[in-house]
Every structure is written in structure tokens, then in C-alpha cells.
Amino acid sequence: MVAGHLRKKSGYYYAVLNYTDSLGKRKTKWISTGLTVKENKKRAEAILMDARRNFNPEEPKVMNGDILFADYMEKWLDIIKNSVAVPTFASYSTTVKKIVAPYFRKKK
């Protein structure tokens, strides 16, 4: 079971879960209970306990070491897609697909 506590934010309760991922980095996950602060503390605590019991952290995607650099860069784009801004991803994608991947495919 992961550690966690309740936090009040903008008049609502949030369950805040603290855990360490498989790479050893500390992570925090905020989960909205949807309950207002007024007269809902017991229900919010029940939601927190349920969230702590059932929480399953996402594992980072791991790739084999036997891969061409060009292929790795294209898979890397998939990995970072949801963690960067859209214009940043567009720039990375263009650079990898038009310049980096073709260059390294020729070099094998």
C-alpha cells in the first residue's frame, strides 16, 4: 500500500498519494474525490483508503538494448508524446523523422 493523505484545495478534498517508481524517483499522484470540504471528511477518508489500497503505479516503458538508434528515436517519440507540449512534440517529431532517423539508418 502506498502512502497518502487528504488535501483541501478550492473547497474540495483530494487524495494525494506518494510513491517511489521502479527507477527510484519519488512521485506524487493527486486524485479528486469530487467531495466538497463541508461535512464530507469521513467519505473522503474512505476514498483515500480505497485509492491507497488499489493504486498501481505505471511502470516506465523499457526497451531492449539491441535496437538501431533510428528505431530508438522513433519509439522515444511515442514515449514522450503525452509529457511535452504539442509544439515541442511537433518540433521533435519533425527533427527525428526528417533528419536524425534517415541519417542513422544510412549508417546502420
Q: 77: closest CA among 93, 95, 90?
A: 93
Q: 81: closest CA among 92, 68, 70?
A: 92
The residue type found at 86 is V
**Predicted pLDDT at 60:** 58
Counting beta carbons within 10 angstroms of the beta carbon of residue 12, is it exposed (0 to 12), middle (13 to 18) or buried (19 or more)? Answer: middle
- This prediction has a pTM of 0.54
* Domain-wise residue ranges, the chain: 3-54, 69-107
Q: What is residue 100's DSSP assignment?
A: I
Q: What is residue 77's DSSP assignment?
A: H
Average pLDDT, the chain: 87
Q: 14: closest CA among 36, 37, 38, 30?
A: 30
Distance CA 78, CA 42 (A): 41
Tens digit of each residue's pLDDT (9 = 90 or more) over 39-68: 999 999 999 999 999 988 776 555 566 788
